[in-house]
């Protein structure tokens, strides 16, 4: 039985989707104003693993994750760079897709953008005003927080405690410091859309209420994001959806990932203590980065340091080596044939145990470190039993089980092989190129014996060289 920790109730609860066999899930995606940092990537990776595990359990998952493509950060950055907000968004949405592919994130069912849903946002804001929970001041629209007694339901911050310490900033026209913007009147040089309140743009929180309802219907099952979004973003989302659409609990389970930290501090752009996902992925094996990002339980903090990444590289290497050990033994047995031995029975037992253990840990609020520990026990069993295995069938089952469980963590063991193969081809091309360069130099200095020897020895290795007017070419015969 799958148990998930629900921020709304602050308890682990049995997971039961609203519709049988179908999970509807929304995860707050990036604001596309800059390169995402590796902390953002943690959020993307853990929710991808949660989705993959739900699919493994047999659910169909509709997975929506948005792009925030209009807000203050977008406008400021576009102005700094002298480009339009739309061009800025296009650039970093493209970057997101590259990172998503390198981290092996499954494509979302839809990646909607805020600016594609302006009419729906206007519609929701109008409903909130009609229902008496929003008001207009000079083209701005605010949510009237004191009118919403359920405010604080997610963050557990009582309404009166909330007002302490808050001030209405100069230039803001809200009635109460706790109120938040649903719609912002146009300022010069900003992108804007027509609305019943004049030209303007949506406040940040509005988009997720609208797109969640549009693509999933409300109530839906899971809403995810980082812990920093509990307040105010998700608190405001509940208030908006409930006030507009009359659904008291628009989301059944609220899941929040812990922070990626550097020296126990949250990694963040504003604090300046961050590494971009791009630089980390450029410096480390992509699969090891993905493995590292899901190696901690998703609600706990995860520290970012070189040692942790090196450890992920080594751990992954051990798992891949076990897969190679199995493959090697399968090819020997395929040639020689063989009979079932005692080791075969033990490995069958280990296959059963790893699946059970993995599921037990993942059923406990997606406890990936526990699930990975089960995989390591299995790796030890593979290494000790494989030499004595008599029949390939059990090895094939061991390999497919290992691959299947690793794929829930976002690691494709088959792909690891392709990548290694791809790398060998690159190295081969480089080495042949280098030999041909040495041969050209030999020919230039009239050392024909050396030049011919290189050509002949390559021929022995099935690599034929042809001299063309554009220089030598080669191919494998």
Binding site for ligand AMP (CB under 6 A): 28, 30-31, 39-40, 42-43, 225-226, 228-229, 257, 259-260, 266-268
Contact 294, 368 (CB under 8 A): yes
- Return d(Cα 447, Cα 399) in angstroms, integer: 53
Cα 79 to its chain centre, rounded Å, is 29
Q: How far is the CB of 46 from ligand AMP (least distance, A)?
A: 8
Q: Of all helices (H) and strands (E), which one includes residue 47?
A: helix 38-56
Q: Of all helices (H) and strands (E), which one includes residue 347?
A: helix 342-363
Phi, psi of 102 (to 5 degrees): -65, -30
Nearer to ligand AMP, 34 or 419 (CB): 34
Enter the tokens of residue 475. 């191919």
Among candidate residues 111, 106, 97, the one with its CA nearest the CA of residue 45: 106
Q: Taking CB positions, which residue lies at the least distance from ligand AMP? A: 226
Nearer to ligand AMP, 144 or 221 (CB): 221
Q: Which among ligand AMP, Zn ion, none contacts residue 259 (Cβ within 5 to 8 A by kind)? A: ligand AMP
Q: Which among Zn ion, ligand AMP, none contacts residue 85 (Cβ within 5 to 8 A by kind)? A: none
Nearer to ligand AMP, 121 or 229 (CB): 229
Q: Which among ligand AMP, Zn ion, none contacts residue 40 (Cβ within 5 to 8 A by kind)? A: ligand AMP
Q: Which among Zn ion, ligand AMP, none contacts residue 386 (Cβ within 5 to 8 A by kind)? A: none
Contact 149, 160 (CB under 8 A): no
Helix (H, G, I), strand (E, B) or coil at 189: coil
Q: How far is the CB of 30 from Zn ion (least distance, A)?
A: 10
Q: How far is the CB of 145 from ligand AMP (least distance, A)?
A: 22
Q: How far is the CB of 248 from ligand AMP (least distance, A)?
A: 24
- Return d(Cα 411, Cα 393) in angstroms, integer: 23
Q: Which among Zn ion, ligand AMP, none contacts residue 208 (Cβ within 5 to 8 A by kind)? A: Zn ion
User: Which residues of this protein are in contact with Zn ion, per CB under 5 A?
Assistant: 28, 208
Q: Which among ligand AMP, Zn ion, none contacts residue 257 (Cβ within 5 to 8 A by kind)? A: ligand AMP
Nearer to ligand AMP, 15 or 274 (CB): 274
Contact 172, 102 (CB under 8 A): no
Q: How far is the CB of 100 from ligand AMP (least distance, A)?
A: 13
Nearer to ligand AMP, 254 or 358 (CB): 254
Q: How far is the CB of 172 from Zn ion (least distance, A)?
A: 22
Contact 261, 38 (CB under 8 A): no
Q: Which among ligand AMP, Zn ion, none contacts residue 286 (Cβ within 5 to 8 A by kind)? A: none
Nearer to ligand AMP, 149 or 270 (CB): 270
Among candidate residues 236, 235, 233, 229, the one with its CA nearest the CA of residue 266: 229
Q: Is the dihedral of CA 333, 421, 287, 316 positive or negative?
A: positive
Q: Which residues contact 44 (CB under 8 A, 6 or more apart)?
A: 27, 29, 36, 65, 99, 100, 103, 105
Q: How far is the CB of 33 from ligand AMP (least distance, A)?
A: 8
Q: How far is the CB of 280 from ligand AMP (least distance, A)?
A: 13
- Return d(Cα 367, Cα 313) in angstroms, integer: 20
């Amino acid at each position: 039985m799958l148990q998930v920790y629900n921020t709304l109730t602050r308890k682990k609860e049995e997971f039961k989707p609203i519709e049988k066999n179908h999970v509807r899930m929304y995860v707050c995606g990036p604001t596309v104003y800059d390169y995402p940092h590796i902390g953002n990537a943690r959020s993307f990776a853990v929710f991808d693993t949660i989705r993959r595990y739900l699919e493994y359990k047999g659910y169909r998952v509709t997975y929506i994750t948005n792009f925030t493509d209009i807000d203050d950060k977008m406008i400021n950055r576009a102005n700094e760079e002298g480009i339009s907000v739309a061009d800025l968004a296009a650039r970093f949405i493209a970057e997101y897709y590259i990172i998503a592919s390198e981290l092996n994130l499954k494509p979302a069912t839809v990646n909607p953008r805020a600016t594609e849903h302006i009419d729906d946002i206007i519609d929701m804001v109008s409903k909130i005003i009609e229902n008496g929970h929003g008001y207009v001041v000079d083209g701005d629209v605010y949510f009237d927080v004191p009118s919403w007694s359920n405010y604080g339901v997610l963050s557990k911050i009582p309404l009166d405690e909330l007002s302490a310490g808050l001030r209405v900033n100069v230039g803001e026209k809200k009635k109460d410091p706790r109120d938040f913007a649903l719609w912002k009147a146009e300022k010069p040089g900003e992108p804007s859309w027509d609305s019943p309140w004049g030209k303007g743009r949506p406040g940040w929180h509005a988009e997720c209420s609208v797109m969640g309802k549009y693509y999933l219907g409300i109530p839906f099952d899971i809403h995810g994001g980082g812990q920093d979004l509990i307040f105010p973003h998700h608190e405001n989302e509940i208030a908006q959806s409930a006030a507009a659409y009359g659904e008291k609990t628009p989301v059944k389970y609220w899941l929040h990932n812990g922070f990626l930290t550097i020296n126990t501090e949250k990694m963040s752009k504003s604090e300046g203590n961050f590494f971009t996902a791009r630089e980390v992925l450029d410096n480390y094996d992509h699969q090891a980065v993905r493995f590292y990002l899901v190696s901690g339980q998703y609600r706990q903090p995860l520290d970012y340091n070189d040692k942790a990444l090196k450890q992920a590289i080594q751990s992954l290497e051990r798992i891949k080596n076990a897969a190679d050990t199995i493959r090697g033994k399968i090819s020997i047995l395929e040639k020689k044939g063989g009979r079932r031995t005692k080791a075969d029975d033990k490995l069958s037992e280990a296959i059963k145990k790893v699946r059970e253990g993995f599921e037990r840990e993942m059923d406990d609020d997606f406890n990936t470190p526990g699930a990975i520990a089960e995989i390591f026990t299995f790796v030890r069993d593979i290494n000790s039993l494989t030499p004595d295995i008599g029949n390939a069938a059990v090895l094939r089952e061991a390999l497919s089980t290992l691959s299947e469980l690793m794929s829930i963590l976002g690691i494709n063991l088959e792909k690891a092989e392709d990548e290694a193969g791809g790398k060998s081809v690159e190295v081969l091309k480089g080495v042949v190129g280098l030999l041909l360069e040495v041969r050209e130099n030999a020919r230039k200095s009239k050392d024909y014996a050396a030049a011919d020897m290189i050509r002949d020895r390559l021929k022995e290795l099935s690599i034929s060289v042809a001299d063309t007017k554009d220089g030598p070419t080669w191919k494998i015969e």
